[in-house]
Structure 1
Amino acid sequence: MSQKSGGALRALRRANQEQLLSLLLAHGPLHRAELARRGGVSRTTVSTLVQDLLARGLIVQADEEPGAEVDGRARDLLSVNPGAAAVAGMNHTFNSVWVHLSDLGFREIASAGTALDPACGPAERITAGTKLLQQQLDEHGLRPDQVIGVGVGVPGPIDRTTGVVGVSLPGEPWSHVRAAEEFGRVLGLPVTVENNTRLEAVAEARWGAGRGVRDLLYFGLSSGIGSGLILDGRLYRGAVGAAGELGHVSVSRDGPPCRCGNRGCLVLYAGIPAVLAALRPVFGATTGLEEMLTRTAAGERAGEGVFADIGAAVGQVLANLCNLLNPERIVVGGELSQAGEALLGPMRTAIRRYALSLVRDVDVVGAELGLGARVGARGGAALILGETPDLAATLNRITVNRTAP
């Protein structure tokens, strides 16, 4: 056999393996006869491919019982081995980093975080995240080449054309950094860098209040106001990656100036600093946000009044987005979402008042996954698993069982 024909046979075998893996990734457990039918190859070819993939640890016998439609002579189902590879999420907030490791079935392998000095720079933050990830891999016997990719969350807008992180909050360490390039150089793995509010949206869509929703708007009410759009089941970023800057929608052209250069931005009325400024004259100059939320939940009218104003302002902006995008559900996250119905009720009222009748009854709910860097890290792992361009080909480059032929 010539070298050329040998190479062609190897390429054909690899293509057939990847087709089989693609079928199992797309459809779940299948039996050999169904793989042959869907793949347009003989059962003999499938048997040969399956033998190799089983030996390499990429597929396994499925645990679940086959349905009644399965041929009784071929009832052994095959599935992709969820433990064959891993995906990682790494989320950086102002004072912490969290790393989440998932298998191919979206199941948690490990999840841990550490506090960071807010004054530290990008290099120290990357080092801390890398150390956490390596610890998780070592503890669970995974090699770096089994990690398909790392979804990294950082604050701020990210220019998709340059990879540069834009300015978000004053003093933000990631501003003007080519984050994907820096993470990739240190980690030595494929990296996708995304705004961490968008990663929270991905996590809520996968595991939280957005489960099963194809068109979802998630936004976080915190010191800043960011959002993530899930449209037709996929994260929407916009032309250059700037979609979702909800906090800088102007709600009053005569309002106070914003650091973005505009006036009357929503964040000036509905961010945490605005809440503190409104309530401290009543609750006391040293009262923190947590106490304000607790007292509001207990029924103090001052707190209810401030959150009613915030809900009305945010709801009017959301009404416009409902007219434009028609989401099925709106999920509210961030620290201020802990105000619960004191915030969500006025928000729904404003949407019903200002949105068109066809879209005004959109479902508005609080986030389910909680606060902190962990949520975005989970979203980072889910993003990699959902957006790796050719997952089957990537998986086919891995051999789990090093003793396999």
Structure 2
Amino acid sequence: MTEGKLKAEWPSRKVVGDVLTPDDSALQAVRRRHEIRVLASLVAHGHRTRRELEEDTKLSRTTLSAIVGELRDRGVIIDTDQTVAASGRHGRPTKVLTLNPEAGAAVGIELGRRRISISVMGFDGSPMSTELQEVAASLGLDAKVGRAVDMVRQLIQDGRIKPETIIGTGIGIASRHANPLSLADGAEHQLDPQGATLDALRAILPGPLLWDNNIRLAAMAYGKDSDDLLYVVLSAGVSAASVSHGTLLRGGNGIAGELGHVSVDFAGPQCWCGRHGCLESYINEANVLAEAAHRGQAFPSIAALAEAAADGNGIAANIIDWAGELLARAVVGATVVLDPSRIVIAGELSQFGEPLLAPLRRALAEQHLDLGARVVTIGVAPFAPTAGSDGAAHLALSRWAMEQGH
């Protein structure tokens, strides 16, 4: 691709060598703010005439014409066949502008422990495309970035990602937490995660990039703008995230949500984190299966253990009750601090279903704070292999709009 072609497709960026980098000039920053005004109007209303866009955005006719022309050239917006009668023109038909339904706005990527997933989201938050690839748990982060680059290139080649329409990328990374003072590319790039550089993805996906913990971003896929959500994942480890009215809680050091490192037994075994009796030391996948074998029956998988419990197997049922009691000790403490209106349990152990949740329900029912009415909805989340990339794309889209003041 030539330099001239790159500039034509993404006019708000410049080319340095073979890498696209943000143009930090004040003029380009203003132009991007103008673009988001136009896009926000089209997201809110579905379609607008140029005159209506002038009223919505408060942009001059000349400025609006230039912005609309660029967005149309990049395939972000289109003229539709629909016409409306414009006032003051004696019923003369006027073309209306809409968002291109085939234009993805944001790309989400999850670099998980055992899978890489990619999600493409439209400007209105609708899903456009997904791709999933299983990987070995031993694969390093730098190698996972390389795999993701290959997947993105293939999606571009297949026409499922159009770089000229992408305004941002979100990346969820297992076992990594972003510095809360560096959460997205701006005038300077966000600090890269320990163990890898994300520059190869920046080079092929235009717009700012942001990354954070994959579980935290997956919570965005389940949270609603009106939610106070506690999202807990029980898998190879134990992770959690809190979302309040569409905003992620990260904490002062970026590690909020490490529920797995809440001690549920001060006399328990030492965890790798240095403390004793951490929840993650007990109810990770491997240890749950080991505990079942220690009690007299081995199961090949968590799914097999869950099925045995449903069929009345006593050892399996007791294991699930044991895991549920430990989970309740940690989650009840978190509910006092966070006061969620909804708790969602996800991950492989969520296959245990209601028997896993029963101890938590009992513990919350027994707790009387006398501070007012308290309603907490508790449930399990169906397995969604692209939840992390879905949430990452959603956050990239939200972040882009927020940074432009909308």
Normalised by the length of structure 2, the TM-score is 0.76
| Residue identity opposite 1:129 in structure 2 | A
For 1:19-72, what per-residue CA distance to the aligned partner results, in whole angstroms no more than 9, with x for missing partners?
333333455544555444444467x66984686367534334579999xxxxx9
Which residue is 2:109 aligned to? 90
Q: Does 1:20 align with 2:38?
A: yes
**Equivalent of 2:172 in 153, 156, 163:** 153
Which residue is 1:334 aligned to? 347
Q: Which runs of 5+ in 2 are unaligned?
A: 1-25, 85-89, 184-191
Q: Does 1:380 align with 2:392?
A: yes
For 1:319-374, what per-residue CA distance to the aligned partner results, in whole angstroms no more than 9, with x for missing partners?
22222222111111010011111112222111222363546530001113x143x2
Using the TM superposition, give the Cα deviation of residue 192 of structure 1 relative to its aligned residue in structure 2, in angstroms. Answer: 1.7
Change (3 A) 1:153 1:18: closer
Q: Does 1:363 align with 2:349?
A: no
> Contact 2:171–2:389 at 8 Å: present in 1 too?
yes
| Residue identity opposite 1:259 in structure 2 | W
Q: Does 1:231 align with 2:244?
A: yes
Change (3 A) 1:20 1:115: closer
> Contact 1:83–1:104 at 8 Å: present in 2 too?
no
Which residue is 1:171 aligned to? none
More helix by share: 1
> Contact 2:217–2:395 at 8 Å: present in 1 too?
yes
Percent identity for Structure 1 against Structure 2: 28
Which residue is 1:109 aligned to? 128
**Equivalent of 2:333 in 304, 311, 320:** 320
Change (3 A) 1:316 1:359: farther
Which residue is 2:23 aligned to? none
Question: Counterparts of 1:96 and 1:386 in 2: how far apart (Å)?
Answer: 25
Which residue is 2:216 aligned to? 198
Question: Counterparts of 1:12 and 1:190 in 2: how far apart (Å)?
Answer: 16
| Residue identity opposite 2:353 in structure 1 | G
Written as runs of structure 1 = structure 2, the 5 A alignment for 1:166-315 is 176-180=194-198, 183-184=201-202, 190-205=208-223, 211=224, 213-282=226-295, 284-285=297-298, 287-315=300-328
Change (3 A) 1:12 1:311: closer
Aligned residues: 366
Question: Counterparts of 1:122 and 1:11 in 2: how far apart (Å)?
Answer: 33
| Residue identity opposite 2:250 in structure 1 | R
> Contact 1:100–1:110 at 8 Å: present in 2 too?
yes
Change (3 A) 1:334 1:54: closer
Q: Does 1:135 align with 2:191?
A: no
Question: Counterparts of 1:11 and 1:362 in 2: how far apart (Å)?
Answer: 43
Q: What SS is found at the alignment partner of 1:388? A: helix
Q: What SS is found at the alignment partner of 1:259? A: coil
| Residue identity opposite 2:42 in structure 1 | L
Change (3 A) 1:239 1:145: farther
> Contact 2:48–2:98 at 8 Å: present in 1 too?
yes
Question: Counterparts of 1:11 and 1:254 in 2: how far apart (Å)?
Answer: 56
Question: Counterparts of 2:67 and 2:178 in 1: how far apart (Å)?
Answer: 43
Change (3 A) 1:213 1:355: farther
Question: Counterparts of 1:34 and 1:253 in 2: how far apart (Å)?
Answer: 64
With 324-333 and 101-110 compared, the bigger mean Cα shift is at 101-110
With 20-29 and 107-116 compared, the bigger mean Cα shift is at 20-29
Question: Counterparts of 2:27 and 2:194 in 1: how far apart (Å)?
Answer: 48
Question: Counterparts of 2:202 and 2:134 in 1: how far apart (Å)?
Answer: 22
Using the TM superposition, give the Cα deviation of residue 201 of structure 1 relative to its aligned residue in structure 2, in angstroms. Answer: 0.8
Question: Counterparts of 1:194 and 1:327 in 2: how far apart (Å)?
Answer: 22
> Contact 2:215–2:241 at 8 Å: present in 1 too?
yes
Using the TM superposition, give the Cα deviation of residue 214 of structure 1 relative to its aligned residue in structure 2, in angstroms. Answer: 2.4
Question: Counterparts of 1:154 and 1:13 in 2: how far apart (Å)?
Answer: 32
Which residue is 1:58 aligned to? 76
RMSD: 3.9
Question: Counterparts of 2:70 and 2:176 in 1: how far apart (Å)?
Answer: 41
Question: Counterparts of 2:339 and 2:273 in 1: how far apart (Å)?
Answer: 28
Normalised by the length of structure 1, the TM-score is 0.76
Q: Which runs of 5+ in 1 are unaligned?
A: 1-7, 67-71, 165-173, 206-210, 394-405
